[in-house]
Structure 1
Amino acid sequence: MSHPPAAPYRGDFIAWPGVCGFIGEGGAGGPAIQPHAHYAIQLALGAPKGLRVQHGRHAEWQACAGALVPSRSTHTIDVTACEFSLVLFIEPETPAGRALAARLQGRPELLPDEVLACSDRLAHAWRVERSHDAVREVCTQLLQSLSGTAAPQPSDPRVLAAIERIHQHVVQPITLPELAQAAHLSPGRFRHLFVEQTGMPLRTYVLWRRLLHVWTLLTEGESLAGAAHAAGFADSAHLSRTARTMFGLPPSVLQVKGPLSTARREAALQRATTTGPVSVWRKAARSATSAGDS
């Protein structure tokens, strides 16, 4: 019996500190996912059905509504038959990551159909609202329900000042002693305070910020090599190694284009009609979107 061909994949890369991933519809032509293992904990959802996961290189494929995959566990997923899918990579050192790691105990977990209760809201935030913030809110609520933790909200003014400095100088080298000195703390005390407030080590946080900046530039039409350089990576190979280490995929897949990327480009074009030459408004757009992803 023949099956209808899968719809072409249309999606977006989504990211905020501690979490990144893909949201999209259809399956054909989407990111090619081979058996692999990576540092991030992975959450995959497929609606209304069609998601398949394989744990290990030679295990049987299993159909499910969703799955959680622990850090360093070899796996792959297939979203070809899904109408709508979400794949998130969660940094293990965040509060949600630590709670999920404790839940999984190194073993993958298939999730029940009830996990898809958020899919309609998620699809609306992505397709209709075309809002990265709205997608982030639904994803955050989903992660909170699965992990039993709330995302940390930094409140210490010294950490807030450090975060702002990182945002403003994301393309430049920034060190722990430099930030600690500005906060009038020892490097050891500042390191502890930063992790306590953000849920992430400083080095990991800076890498996330640079990856977010790469994504912003790519959605505005920058080349991969140009985005890597502009975000403070030595070259595209350095960016590729970082992306593969943090979520198991090459940075080229960040270039998938969906409603979120389209909305960003439309906003940039709108600014172009009111603020003058491209060289001026594009720089402003990059600065604004980079700050808006915090």
Structure 2
Amino acid sequence: MPTAPSNRYRGDFVAWAGVCGFLGEGGSGAPIAAHSHYAIQLALGLPRGLRVQFGVRGEWQPCAAALVPSKATHTIDISGCDISIVLFIEPETPAGKALTSRLQGRLELLDADLVEAAAARLDRAWRVEQDHEAVREACMQLVQQVSQTAHREPSDPRVLAVVEYLRHSVDQPVSLPELAKRVHLSPERFRHLFVEETGMPLRTYVLWRRLLHVFTLLMQGDTLSAAAHAAGFADSAHLSRTARTMFGLPPSAFQMSGPLSARMQEQHRHFA
């Protein structure tokens, strides 16, 4: 994560419905100010050197990895890490609900033995294989392992149809009645079915998709302003406020220039 302008964070973004994260290096200055955000945070530092501060004046605690509950004031220090991995988990997903119940608003430090194998897979997928799907799969396995939940994709054809529509209409305003009508369901029935299949209310899902689209565009080399408009935000200021609420930091704090971003930008130029 970013910590100082003199050594700005350089990394990549990975995401799936309800979870996203940043893998990178750099940011070896002073830790960012204590902050809070809506998403549950899972932070790892490789090979060691991660420190976490819970609360505004809490003691700095060294650890291999840490889970930070939703809306808890905290900060992390990655200055001693070669690589940092920070995942954000939507609290209303199955994994988020399991972690919320377990954490009960408290910080949890994770043993190195619990995350060592998963972290090694992530490091290899990111720096050696430089493969986006391999990184995503390794992140998914890590979240499942830590939360002790199974990842499940929507299977109902009506929800799948809406998800596909939303994927192609990320910059357009949508409403629950409108989407329910598209799949011939009452708004109330569709609302329950969507939550059951995706693990998130429609409004949360749409916001999450828009944020994921922004970072995908940034990885492709788009400007912050262009990415904000393409994802349906009024402007970059609106996007920054939303990202701060969800993740604690604005998109401008991240520099998408890792191996996955470089590959995406090369492919984008090739097909442009």
Could you say which TM-score interval applies, normalised by the shorter chain?
over 0.9
SS in 2 for 1:128: helix
- For 1:163-242, list aligned pairs within 5 A: 163-242=163-242
- For 1:1-294, list aligned pairs within 5 A: 9-28=9-28, 33-114=32-113, 115-271=115-271, 281=272
CA distance in 2 between counterparts of 1:243 and 1:93 reads 17
CA distance in 2 between counterparts of 1:7 and 1:177 reads 48
The one-letter amino acid paired with 2:235 is D
Q: 1:159 to 1:262 in 2, by over 3 A?
A: same
Structure 1 runs, 4 residues or longer, greater than 4 Å off: 6-9
Instruction: Give the deviation of 1:7 after TM superposition.
Output: 8.0
Say which is worse superposed, 256-265 or 216-225, in terms of deviation: 216-225
Q: Is the 8 A contact 1:36 1:74 kept in 2?
A: yes
Deviation string for 1:174-204 (max 9, x for gaps)? Answer: 1110110111111111111001000111111
Q: Is the 8 A contact 2:55 2:73 kept in 1?
A: yes
Q: 1:29 to 1:11 in 2, by over 3 A?
A: farther
SS in 2 for 1:222: coil
The one-letter amino acid paired with 1:208 is W
Q: Is the 8 A contact 2:20 2:89 kept in 1?
A: yes
Deviation string for 1:100-157 (max 9, x for gaps)? Answer: 1111111111111112221221011111222222111111111111111112210100
CA distance in 2 between counterparts of 1:255 and 1:228 reads 16
CA distance in 1 between counterparts of 2:46 and 2:206 reads 34
Q: 1:151 to 1:52 in 2, by over 3 A?
A: same
Q: Is the 8 A contact 2:153 2:198 kept in 1?
A: yes
The one-letter amino acid paired with 1:211 is L
SS in 1 for 2:88: strand
CA distance in 2 between counterparts of 1:149 and 1:7 reads 37
Which consecutive residues of structure 1, in runs of 5 or more, have no partner in the other structure? 1-5, 272-280, 282-294
Task: Give the alignment's Cα RMSD to 1 decimal.
Answer: 1.8
The percent identity for this pair of structures is 67
CA distance in 2 between counterparts of 1:8 and 1:254 reads 8
Deviation string for 1:234-264 (max 9, x for gaps)? Answer: 1111111111111111021343311110010
The one-letter amino acid paired with 1:215 is F
Larger Rg: 1
Report the TM-score when normalising by structure 2. Answer: 0.93
Q: Is the 8 A contact 1:45 1:116 kept in 2?
A: no
Instruction: Give the deviation of 1:225 after TM superposition.
Output: 1.1
Q: 1:255 to 1:143 in 2, by over 3 A?
A: same
Q: 1:109 to 1:15 in 2, by over 3 A?
A: same
Q: 1:228 to 1:76 in 2, by over 3 A?
A: same
Instruction: Give the deviation of 1:73 after TM superposition.
Output: 0.8
The one-letter amino acid paired with 1:89 is F
> What count of residue pairs does the alignment treat as equivalent?
266
CA distance in 1 between counterparts of 2:33 and 2:82 reads 21
Report the TM-score when normalising by structure 1. Answer: 0.86
SS in 1 for 2:129: coil
Instruction: Give the deviation of 1:8 after TM superposition.
Output: 6.9
CA distance in 2 between counterparts of 1:60 and 1:29 reads 19
The one-letter amino acid paired with 2:85 is L
Q: 1:75 to 1:252 in 2, by over 3 A?
A: same
